[in-house]
Structure 1
Amino acid sequence: MADVVLAPLRGLEDFLIGSARFQIPNIKDQEKWSNRVLNNLLYYQTNYFLTALILFLIIGLIHPVKMVFGFAAISVAFGGFVYSTNNQWKARKFKRDHPLVSVVLILVGGYLLVYMFGAVIVFIFGIAFPLLLILIHASLRMRSIKNKITNKMEYVGLKRTPMGIILEGLGQEQEAGS
């Protein structure tokens, strides 16, 4: 992890304006489109992380209470799922020993989930909207020579970046010559 390097922040001129060239991808050629998206994710990764953070914070400032409650609701649901799947025998024993409490907990949990639905939607929108914008930019932005050279250095292993690690973890490794 010590050899991970944060990619430089690309200028607005390169990222959006001026020399930036955009073109609708040929969706029939999935391999070429995927290659463009992956390479743009690597090249503009710092811009994308910053964009996602700014949009998440803006949505959080517009709906702060819903963001906090949405995060809490998702965290509790996830934690409950992990706990119950890891401790199934304890959950079954508790349901058998305390059936009335179990029913009340299920009803209260269901009510809270329905009550918190709006907050959960705002929180998920706070995550999904920046990701959608990043995918659109990475799909439409054509690659430059500098983009291609930088991505080759990432592939050869001269540089390791956070986005490279994330993509590798998702099984989206670059191929030689892409």
Structure 2
Amino acid sequence: MAKVELVPLRSWDDFFPGSERFAKPDFTDMTRWNNRVVSNLLYYQTNYLVLAIAVFLVVGFLNPLGMFTAMAVVSAVFLGSVWAGENRAVIKNFKRQNPTVFVIAVMVASYMLISLLGSVMTFMTAITLPLTLIAAHASFRLRNMKNKLENKMEGAGLKRSPMGIFLEALGQQEENLQKIQTFLEGKVKE
């Protein structure tokens, strides 16, 4: 098994070039859209981490207690959902069949708990803003050849990254890994 490595920070020209490298996703083909998002999340993960840290620092400076509360609640809900997904068959099957709905459910549960604790604006700013920016970029950014190659290496287990582990915990990498294994098995038989 490959060791976990943080991918390099992509240049600004690669991360946010002109409008020719962005296109509206095809909402009718969910598999293709999901592949684009997963591929971009893996390829630009360090850029996304820098973006999230910048927003966290600004919000944390403005409201440190609210930021700590929001981070603790989201972490607890995420860890609880990963544990439940691994140890409860019903949740594991739901996560595998509806990965996007599962992620949305985790976010809604986090929001509801944070609203009880009174840190809703911190949550909305510190958590939702970077996630929205990341989801928008990953959805609209077209993939390039390097991007596709990195995704295949991650899916085949030749390379491990923090985002790959995170996506695997959410059940997003299993489908890609199965496609790669099927492809490789077909090549071995030939």
Answer whether contact 1:23 1:142 (CA < 8 A) is retained.
yes
Which residue in 2 is equivalent to 1:169? 169
User: Deviation string for 1:37-81 (max 9, x for gaps)?
Assistant: 011011111111111111111122233354346557x49x98xxx
Q: Call closer, same or farther: CA 1:142–1:115 in 2, change over 3 Å.
A: closer
- Corresponding residue number in structure 1 for 2:120: 121
Q: How do 1:7-26 and structure 2 match up within 5 A?
A: 7-18=7-18, 21-26=21-26
1:31 maps to 31
**Structure with higher helix content:** 2
Judge conservation of contact 1:14–1:20 (CA < 8 Å) in 2: no
Higher RCO structure, 1 or 2 (CA under 8 Å, sep 6+): 1
- Count of paired positions: 139
Contact 1:67 1:123 in 2 (8 A): yes
Query: Matched residues in 2 for 1:71 and 1:151: separation?
Result: 29
Residues 1:159 and 1:61: Cα distance change in structure 2 (over 3 Å): same
- Report the Cα offset of residue 34 of structure 1: 0.6
Match of 1:52 in 2: 52
Per the alignment, residue 139 of structure 1 pairs with 139
* Distance of aligned partners of 1:122 and 1:13 in 2 relative to their CA distance in 1, 3 Å threshold: same
Partner of 1:61: 61
Task: Name the CA shift for 1:122/1:158 in 2 (closer, same or farther; >3 Å).
Answer: same
Alpha-carbon offset, residue 30 of structure 1? 0.7
Letter matched to residue 58 of structure 1: V
Q: Contact (CA 8 Å) 1:67, 1:122: kept in 2 or not?
A: no
Equivalent residue runs for 1:72-91 within 5 Å: 74=73
Q: Gaps (5+ residues) in structure 1?
A: 79-112
Shift in CA distance, 71/131, structure 1 to aligned 2, threshold 3 Å: closer
Cα distance between partner residues in 2 of 1:69 and 1:11: 33
CA apart distance, 1:171: 0.8
Could you tell me the TM-score, scaled by structure 1's length?
Answer: 0.68
Over 3 Å counting, the alpha-carbon distance change for 1:149 and 1:20 in structure 2 is farther
Q: Tell whether the 8 Å contact from 2:2 to 2:160 is kept in structure 1 after alignment.
A: no
Q: CA 1:26–1:116 in 2, change beyond 3 Å: closer, same or farther?
A: same
CA RMSD of aligned residues (A): 2.8
Larger Rg: 1
Matched residue of 2:17: which SS? coil
Structure 1 residue runs of 4+, over 4 Å off?
68-72, 113-116
Structure 2 residue aligned with 1:148: 148
Q: CA deviation at 1:28?
A: 0.9
Deviations 1:83-113 (A, max 9, x none): xxxxxxxxxxxxxxxxxxxxxxxxxxxxxx9
